[in-house]
Amino acid sequence: MAKFIVEQSGPLQGDVAVSGSKNAVLPILAATLMTEGKSEINDVPYLRDVDVMCRILRSMGASVTEDWKTHTITVDMDRVKAEEVPYELVKRMRASIFVMGPLLAKTGKARIALPGGCSIGDRPIDLHNKGMRSLGARIDTELGVVEATASQLKGALIYLDFPSVGATENIMMAATLAKGLTVIENAAEEPEIVDLANFLNKMGARIKGAGTDTIRIEGVEKLHGAKHTVIPDRIETGTFMVAAAITRGDILIRNCVPDHVKPVIAKLMECGATVNDEVEGLRVRGDIKQLIATDIKTMPYPGFPTDMQALFMALLSTVDGASAVIETVFENRFMHAAELSRMGANIKVDGRTAVVPGKNPLIGAQVISTDLRAGAALVLAGLVAKGKTEISEIYHIERGYDSFMEKLVSLGAKITREED
What are the catalytic residues?
A: 118
Tell the smallest beta-carbon distance from residue 343 to ligand UD1 (Å).
24
Q: Which stretch binds ligand UD1 (CB under 6 A): 159-167, 178-186, 313-321, 375-383?
A: 159-167
Binding mask 272-311 for ligand UD1 (x = CB under 6 A): ----------------------------------xx----
Element (H, E) at 379: helix 372-384
For ligand UD1, give the closer residue by CB, 163 or 281.
163
Residue 373: what residue type? R
- 370 part of the interface to ligand UD1, by CB under 6 A: no
CA distances in angstroms from 343 to 93, 172, 206, 336, listed in the order given: 29, 43, 51, 11
**Contacting residue, 6, 18, 25, 26, with ligand UD1 by CB under 6 A:** 26
- Phi-psi category of 107—alpha, beta or left, where left has phi over 0 and alpha has psi -120 to 50? alpha
Stretch that binds ligand UD1, among 69-77, 122-130, 206-214, 359-367 (CB under 6 A): 122-130
- Specify the residue, 80 or 167, whose C-beta has the smaller distance to ligand UD1: 167
- Taking CB under 6 A as the rule, does residue 166 contact ligand UD1? yes
Q: Out of 109, 123, 283, 388, which residue is the one contacting ligand UD1 (CB under 6 A)? A: 123
- CA triplet 339, 358, 298: central angle to 5 degrees? 70
Neighbours of 145 (CB within 10 A): 15
Q: Segment contacting ligand UD1 (CB under 6 A): 61-69, 82-90, 164-172, 387-395?
A: 164-172
In whole angstroms, give the CA distance from residue 211 to residue 189. 4
Rounded Cα distance, 300 and 163, in Å: 7
Q: Which of 82, 144, 162, 410 binds ligand UD1 (CB under 6 A)?
A: 162
Nearest approach, Cβ of 249 to ligand UD1 (angstroms)? 26
**Interface residue with ligand UD1, options 64, 127, 246, 408 (CB under 6 A):** 127
- In the three-class reduction of DSSP (H, G, I as helix; E, B as strand; rest coil), residue 23 is classed as helix
Pairing of strands 72-77, 35-42: antiparallel
Question: 10 Å Cβ neighbour count for 157?
Answer: 10
What residues between 329 and 358 interact with ligand UD1 by CB under 6 A? Answer: 329-330
Report the residue number, 4 or 98, with the smaller CB distance to ligand UD1.
Answer: 98
Q: Taking the CA atoms of the chain, what radius of gyration do you get in angstroms?
A: 21
Report the distance separating Cα 228 and Cα 199, nearest Å. 6
What is the closest distance, in whole angstroms, from the C-beta atom of residue 145 to ligand UD1 in the complex? 16
CB nearer to ligand UD1: give 100 or 273: 100
Per-residue x/- track, 94-113, ligand UD1 (CB under 6 A) = -x------------------
Applying CB under 6 A, which part among 51-59, 119-127, 133-141, 263-271 lies near ligand UD1? 119-127
Q: Which residues pair with 320 in a beta bridge?
A: 292
DSSP string, 173-184: HHHHTSBSEEEE
Q: Per CB under 6 A, does 128 bind ligand UD1? A: yes
Sign of the CA dihedral 119, 120, 122, 124?
negative
- Start-to-end CA span in the chain (Å): 5
86-107 core/surface letters (b: 16 or more CB in 10 A; e: else): ebebbebbbbbbbbbbbbbbbb
Q: How far is the CB of 232 from ligand UD1 (least distance, A)?
A: 15
> Residue 385 Cβ, how far from ligand UD1 at the closest point, in Å?
26
Cα–Cα distance between 79 and 90 in angstroms, integer?
22
With respect to ligand UD1, which residue has the nearer C-beta, 126 or 140?
126
Q: Does 228 bind ligand UD1 (CB under 6 A)?
A: no
Per CB under 6 A, does 31 bind ligand UD1?
no
Q: In angstroms, what is the minimal distance from the CB of 162 to ligand UD1?
A: 5
Single residue of 66, 67, 88, 126 touching ligand UD1 by CB under 6 A: 126
Q: How many CB atoms lie within 10 A of CB 154?
A: 16
Residues that bind ligand UD1 in the complex, under the rule CB under 6 A: 23, 26, 95, 121, 123-128, 162, 164-167, 188, 192, 306-307, 329-330
